[in-house]
Amino acid sequence: MKIITDVSKKKTIRVGNVEIGGNKPIIIAGPCSVEDEEQVLKIALEVKNQDASILRGGAYKPRTSPYTFQGLGEEGLKYLKNAGIKAGLLTVSELLDIRDIDIVEGYVDIIQIGSRNMYNYPLLKEVGRLNKPVILKRGLSASIEEWMNAAEYIASNGNLNIILCERGIRTFETYTRNTLDLSAVPIIKGISCLPIIVDPSHGTGRRELIIPMSMAAIAAGADGVMVEVHYNPEEALSDGEQSLNFDEFARLCQRINDFTSFFSK
Amino acid sequence: MKIITDVSKKKTIRVGNVEIGGNKPIIIAGPCSVEDEEQVLKIALEVKNQDASILRGGAYKPRTSPYTFQGLGEEGLKYLKNAGIKAGLLTVSELLDIRDIDIVEGYVDIIQIGSRNMYNYPLLKEVGRLNKPVILKRGLSASIEEWMNAAEYIASNGNLNIILCERGIRTFETYTRNTLDLSAVPIIKGISCLPIIVDPSHGTGRRELIIPMSMAAIAAGADGVMVEVHYNPEEALSDGEQSLNFDEFARLCQRINDFTSFFSK
Amino acid sequence: MKIITDVSKKKTIRVGNVEIGGNKPIIIAGPCSVEDEEQVLKIALEVKNQDASILRGGAYKPRTSPYTFQGLGEEGLKYLKNAGIKAGLLTVSELLDIRDIDIVEGYVDIIQIGSRNMYNYPLLKEVGRLNKPVILKRGLSASIEEWMNAAEYIASNGNLNIILCERGIRTFETYTRNTLDLSAVPIIKGISCLPIIVDPSHGTGRRELIIPMSMAAIAAGADGVMVEVHYNPEEALSDGEQSLNFDEFARLCQRINDFTSFFSK
Amino acid sequence: MKIITDVSKKKTIRVGNVEIGGNKPIIIAGPCSVEDEEQVLKIALEVKNQDASILRGGAYKPRTSPYTFQGLGEEGLKYLKNAGIKAGLLTVSELLDIRDIDIVEGYVDIIQIGSRNMYNYPLLKEVGRLNKPVILKRGLSASIEEWMNAAEYIASNGNLNIILCERGIRTFETYTRNTLDLSAVPIIKGISCLPIIVDPSHGTGRRELIIPMSMAAIAAGADGVMVEVHYNPEEALSDGEQSLNFDEFARLCQRINDFTSFFSK
């Protein structure tokens, strides 16, 4: 590695009026899957209402079984983009298939590479050729070193606007869906120039852990969190058990806000 | 899952004159990477000489670092195909990038989906549309259930010629590169209709363990093994520490042969 | 480490007329828990009937919950000893509490240190002072190196009659109770002077996997297997789902026997 | 489980003038090993100077190799006790051997059960009969459920003064010594009545991660942290690479203090 380990060049990534890796932790929120036009708009308005800055929503879903809901595809991206515009939010969505790169790039402000694709080197090289920020999630069982090398695949192709995202690793523990490895936050801060955010929704898989683990992430130095929000988690088409409802989301944003003002004093 | 769990329809896969999942365990062998025309031919002749039936060789290499040897690409596939023809062996090589599917399909008899791509669902769907056998390696930290679902992604698109390959999972143990989970062999035999082979080279990462773990794999019921062989492992461009030399390879083939004739009595 | 890594002094352990680490793999079998006098005797007679050589049975049980059956204690040891005498079998049972060392030593031919006590160094030191063979199970998440150091704790106190037992490690996979790490067999053979056996009952937690994994263990070079047997596994007080019934046990012994004659030819 | 899962009876543990599980997170600090009288006193005075409340120090050390420093034993406990008295601090030290229970109980205010002994049920039962608080560390690869059952072993014998301590679990990641599972903090808070502290020294094994992970622990809701401190970490007889020096320790205490006043507003 050469590029992302140059800690003398700490990167702050600017997208629109949002700064990632700056002084204020960001909040990325939205539904696991874009389900329909109304759903994503309703959630987007609440995300904006709580002063979060980026709207997430999956249109291409990497599902374990070929027989479950695979996402709305391009239609989902349209709904996401429209919701973002109406609510005044930036958008992020996952790119699964290298052949969809132009489509996804056309709709979103930030491209997400999911955990299952962290070792998909052709895909990493291609997003490395774009002029658009990339959120690179850590692989399910990727070591810190492999994860950083994956980022280097992107960087070495020219795109330095990379945001790492810790989202839990696979361990023997079954109480949580994954084990959120928050030590990755200060490690990445110490040995790379990239910002890092944390996804406690996937990282724990349990709604009641999202707020405390978000606070822990920020106390560890994370540049933000990415969480799943739904007005009715019980009825979400995917990942309902790890989505905050609106009340919980409001509480999360309030606490992060308090925290930030405390630290910036 | 519906298709691959139909154990009443046990599959035997025929490629040329080779039967996978039949009475005799197969041996797939060759270099980690195709390095040049001469290297792969020299190894192919020895693979044939020991009565193994399929030649493996990587042309597109999924390397952890973007700065290490990434394989010869299509040129490597040509060398592999020629070596296979001259030696009278079938060939298998890894498909990394969905955009290379036609190229790879044009050169090899069996397409390999590597460990890092087991969750690459678009790639699985595409090879599911081919009329060519696929070796599907288990992901680094994939559960048996996820692995079988990955096979179902292929099968549900029409291609039932799937050979599963256990290649070690990631655990806390650092003595070996991975932990070879041989219990996967009788499990897969019990709950799926697919043949399963074992790769003790990647599964252990240590040359001295390849022969005993190959014997163990076959004793557990595996339909074959896939091993790395090189006339000079110390000088291999990749994975030399887990490649057999020619003497060791001859011993492996001899032992598997004895074993097979014992069991078929 | 100094003592157990001296591979020039390969140990064969003799207990009564049984040789562990010699040419013939041994079979240790019996119930998970000694439940009553009749149960253990009935099983002992069948163990002997199949020509296995050592009877296992737990009297002190390390149970996850304080509220479940904790074993019969010394009474269980008496039943085990009597059953061994009547059937003409050596016996092995687990020592849990350092304060019970004299009691356990008085009843059994081999003392077992279980997985949960592999790091219990005071206990290891004490059995190191005995003149009685010890089976040392690998800890749930112990590295090969830690396991060997645990053996060295015993050896450095004078007792070199140590038999290592691979019994599965804890990984992310939930299909099996543990992941049986058979690569430990050739590794231990290569870097230590101690014999090694395999416990596929705990190593897989599933009855249908015990026979294939026993065969795999022996093909990998193991000096024997330890399995749980019960005339009525469904009614066993503990671990029924991983115990063989008598028919299955007979088949296992037959297959190991065939195997051994193959290898000794 | 019955006792420790009764969340209606949230426990606050009082030892001397210290309250664990109350409103203010506690700091437990001291050397990994008590090395001599002067060393532990010097460190104790600094621990007191920074307003931490409990002095830790190992006298019986569970070392991987039988040939490395095993601790000073009872002499070490004397030095620890004297240092505690002179500095005005409570003390905690690890009990390794059930036969030493009276000795250890005689010297310290809190008994620690280490990670390697979490499954040592006879030891848990015995400390369950004492009238002295116990810190119960999570086992290296113990699930939350097993850990809670271990606490139940203590509680069911009468001693409810149990403080759980998350100290990292064993995973595939080698950058850190263990993976600190901070999600255990809100989980334990939600399903048990016991206080929980975090040990980022063992949990990460790297000095530079101790401060951020301590802050994360407290933000996640931990009732305190336990850290290793040494005036000269490079020369510590054990665990120097994960010990804070005095400057770093002062900074840690300052930050925790700020944090606490923020949260108590």
Per residue in A52-69, pLDDT tens?
999 999 999 999 999 999
* Confidence band of B235 (pLDDT split at 50, 70, 90): confident
C29 residue type, one letter = A
For residue A30, give both structure tokens: 């939205």
Query: Do D174 and B174 make contact, defined as CB atoms within 8 angstroms?
Result: yes
Tell which phi-psi region holds residue C26, choosing left (phi > 0), alpha (psi between -120 and 50) or beta: beta
Mean pLDDT of chain D: 96
* Residue C228 three-state SS: strand
Measured distance CA(A152)–CA(C105) in Å, rounded:
59
Per-residue pLDDT at D77: 98
Q: Is A192:A3 a contact under the CB 8 Å cutoff?
A: no
Q: CB of B171 within 8 Å of any CB in chain C?
A: yes
Q: What is d(CA C219, CA B209) in angstroms, rounded to the nearest whole number?
A: 12
Alpha-helical regions (H) of D99-245: 101-107, 121-128, 144-155, 184-191, 200-204, 210-219
Residues in CB range of A72: below 8 A, 6 or more apart? A33, A34, A35, A36, A59, A79
Q: Which of B96, B99, B122 sits opposite A96 (nearest CB)?
A: B122
On whether the CB atoms of residues A241 and A207 are closer than 8 A, the answer is yes
pLDDT tens track for B39-95: 999 999 999 999 999 999 999 999 999 999 999 999 999 999 999 999 999 999 999
Q: What is the pLDDT of residue A263?
A: 65
pLDDT band at B263 (very low <50, low <70, confident <90, very high): low
Question: Each residue of A7-19: pLDDT tens digit?
Answer: 999 999 999 999 9
Q: Is the distance from CB of B54 to CB of B92 less than 8 angstroms? A: yes
Mean pLDDT of all residues belonging to chain C: 96
Put simply, whether B140 touches A (Cβ < 8 Å) is yes
Per CB-CB distance under 8 Å, the chain D contacts of A139 are none
Distance of CA C233 to the CA centre of its chain: 19
pLDDT classification of B262: cutoffs 50, 70, 90: confident
What is the chain C residue with the closest CA to B143?
Answer: C173
Tell me the pLDDT of chain A averaged across its residues.
96
The pLDDT score that the predictor gives to residue C264 is 64
Among D7, D143, D182, D188, pick the best mutation site for testing chain A contact (most A Cβ within 10 A).
D182
pLDDT at D260 over 90: no
Q: For the segment D23-39, what is each residue's pLDDT rounded down to a tens digit?
A: 999 999 999 999 999 99
The alpha-carbon gap from C63 to the nearest alpha carbon of chain D, in Å, equals 8
Alpha helices in chain D (DSSP H): 37-49, 74-87, 101-107, 121-128, 144-155, 184-191, 200-204, 210-219, 246-263
C-alpha pair distances (Å), A229 with each of A71, A116, D97: 17, 22, 50
Which tokens sit at A237? 């088409």
Rg, chain C, Cα only: 17
Residues of chain A found within 8 Å of residue B98, distances taken between Cβ atoms: 97-99, 122
C167 pLDDT tier (thresholds 50, 70, 90): very high
Q: pLDDT above 70 covers what percent of chain A?
A: 99
State the Cα torsion C196-B223-C209-C84 to the nearest 10°.
-40
Which pLDDT tens digit goes with each residue over C22-69? 999 999 999 999 999 999 999 999 999 999 999 999 999 999 999 999
pLDDT for res C186: 98
C175 in contact with A, Cβ within 8 Å: no
Q: Is B262 on the interface with C (CB under 8 A)?
A: yes
Q: What are phi and psi of B174, to 5 degrees?
A: -105, -5
Backbone phi, then psi, for A250, in 5-degree steps?
A: -60, -40
Comparing CB atoms, the residue among C62, C65, C146 nearest residue D64 is: C146
Q: What is the pTM of this model?
A: 0.97
Q: Which residue of C has its CA nearest to A169?
A: C172
pLDDT in tens, A86-105: 999 999 999 999 999 999 99
Task: Assign a CATH topology to domain C24-263.
Answer: TIM Barrel (3.20.20)
A124, pLDDT greater than 70: yes
C-chain residues within 8 Å CB-CB of D178? none
Query: At a CB cut-off of 8 Å and minimum separation 6, what does C254 contact?
Result: none
Residue count of chain B: 265
Element holding B40 (H helix, E strand): helix B37-49
Q: Token digits for D26?
A: 């506690």
Q: How far is A129 from chain B (nearest CA, A)?
A: 14
Tell me, what's the ipTM?
A: 0.96
Interface test with C, best of A172, A178, A181 (most C CBs within 10 A): A172
Q: pLDDT tier at C263 (50, 70, 90 boundaries)?
A: low
CA distance B220 to chain C (A): 5
Yes or no, beta carbons of C143 and B173 under 8 Å apart: yes
Q: Is the pLDDT of residue C120 over 80?
A: yes
Measure Cα distances from B253 to B53, B57, B244, B259, B260 in Å.
11, 18, 11, 10, 10
Q: How far apart are alpha carbons B152 and B136 in whole angstroms? A: 11
Give the model's pLDDT for residue A213.
Answer: 98
Cα–Cα distance measured from residue C17 to residue C15, given in angstroms and rounded to the nearest whole number: 6
Whether the Cβ atoms of residue B141 and residue C172 lie closer than 8 Å to each other: yes
pLDDT at B264: 63
Q: Judge: A169–D173 Cβ closer than 8 Å, yes or no.
A: yes
CA-CA distance, D66 to D62, in Å (whole number)?
A: 9
Taking the C-alpha atoms of residue C12 and residue C195, their distance in angstroms, rounded to an integer, is 7
Number of H helices, E strands in chain D: 9, 10
Q: What's residue D119's pLDDT? A: 98
Q: Say what the pLDDT of residue D53 is.
A: 95
More confident of the two residues B236 and A45: A45
Residue A181 contacts D, CB cutoff 8 Å: yes
Best of D1, D64, D174, D179 to disrupt the C interface (most C CBs within 10 Å) is D64
Position D4, amino acid: I
**Confidence category of residue C260, pLDDT binned at 50, 70, 90:** confident
User: Cα separation of B263 and C18, whole Å?
Assistant: 28
Q: Which CATH class is domain B7-263?
A: alpha beta
Chain A residues in contact with C178 by the CB 8 A cut-off are: none
Q: Who contacts B38 (Cβ-Cβ below 8 Å, separation ≥6)?
A: none
Helix (H, G, I), strand (E, B) or coil at B18: strand
DSSP count for chain B of H helices, then E strands:
9, 10
Interface probe with A: pick from C169, C172, C173, most Cβ of A within 10 Å: C172
Residue of chain D whose alpha carbon sits nearest to that of B179: D172
Place of tokens 């600190």: D180
pLDDT tens profile B174-227: 999 999 999 999 999 999 999 999 999 999 999 999 999 999 999 999 999 999
Answer yes or no: is pLDDT of A240 > 90.
no
C11 vs C136: CA distance, rounded Å: 15
Q: Which of C2, C97, C125 sits opposite D122 (nearest CB)?
A: C97
> Measured between CB atoms, does A143 come within 8 Å of chain D?
yes
User: What is the token pair recorded at C20?
Assistant: 């562990």
DSSP label at residue A171: -
Residues of D in contact with B175 (CB under 8 A): none
**Closest chain D CA to residue C98:** D98
**Chain C CB contacts of D98 below 8 Å:** 97-99, 122
The set of residues, in sequence order, having a beta carbon less than 8 Å from that of A114 and lying 6+ positions away, is A62, A94, A96, A137
Among B66, B97, B121, beta carbon nearest to A62: B121
Q: Which residue of C has its CA nearest to D146?
A: C64
CB-based contact A171 C174, cutoff 8 Å: no
Interface B:C, Cβ pairs < 8 A: 105
Task: Please give the C-alpha separations between residue A82 and each of A37, A79, A86, D59, D212, in angstroms, as whole numbers.
Answer: 8, 5, 6, 65, 39
Question: How far does the CA of residue C174 sit from the closest CA of chain A (Å)?
Answer: 8
The beta-carbon neighbor of A190 closest among D172, D183, D208 is D208
State whether residue B49 sits within 8 Å of chain D by CB.
Answer: no
Q: Given an 8 Å threshold on Cβ–Cβ distance, is C180 in contact with B183?
A: yes
Give the residue among C80, C101, C88 at the shortest CA–CA distance from C34. Answer: C80
At B43-55, the pLDDT tens digits run 999 999 999 999 9
Cα C241 → chain centroid: 18
Q: How far apart, in whole angstroms, are the C-alpha atoms of residue A213 and residue A201? A: 9
Domain D14-263: CATH architecture, name and number where available? Alpha-Beta Barrel (3.20)
- Is D210 at the interface with chain A, CB within 8 A? no
* C219 → closest Cβ in B176, B179, B216: B216
Tell me: the pLDDT tens digits for C175-191? 999 999 999 999 999 99
CB contact, 8 Å: A185 with chain D? yes
Chain A residues near residue C205 by CB distance under 8 angstroms: none
Query: C143 falls in which pLDDT band (50, 70, 90)?
Result: very high
Q: Which residue has the tokens 């002063």?
A: A51
Tell me if C125 sits within 8 A of C158, measured CB to CB.
no
Residue of B1, B5, B173 for testing the chain C interface, max C β-carbons within 10 Å? B173
Instruction: Please give the residue of chain B at the shortest CA–CA distance from A170.
Output: B141
Give the three-class secondary structure for D85. helix
Long-range own/partner contacts, residues C90-93 (CB < 8 A, 24 or more apart): C90/C15, C90/C16, C90/C18, C90/C53, C90/C54, C90/C55, C91/C54, C91/C55, C91/C56, C91/C57, C92/C28, C92/C54, C92/C55, C92/C56, C92/C135, C93/C34, C93/C56, C93/C57, C93/C58, C93/C59, C93/C60
Report chain C's terminal Cα–Cα distance, integer Å.
36
pLDDT, position A237: 83
Where are the domains positioned within chain A? 24-263
B262 touches chain D (CB under 8 A): no
Q: Chain A residues with CB inside 8 Å of B141's CB?
A: 140-141, 170
Contact C171 B171 (CB under 8 A): yes
Tokens of C150: 């645990």
Mean pLDDT of D7-18: 94
User: Helix or strand or coil: residue B109?
Assistant: coil
Q: Which residue of C has its CA nearest to A172?
A: C172
Separation CA A149–CA A3 (nearest Å): 10
Of all residues in chain D, what percent carry a pLDDT higher than 90? 93
Per-residue pLDDT for D240 more than 90? no
Q: Which pLDDT score, from 0 to 100, does residue B236 have?
A: 83
pLDDT at D265 over 60: no
Chain A residues with CB inside 8 Å of C172's CB? 141, 170-172
Residues A20 and A223: beta-carbon distance below 8 Å? yes
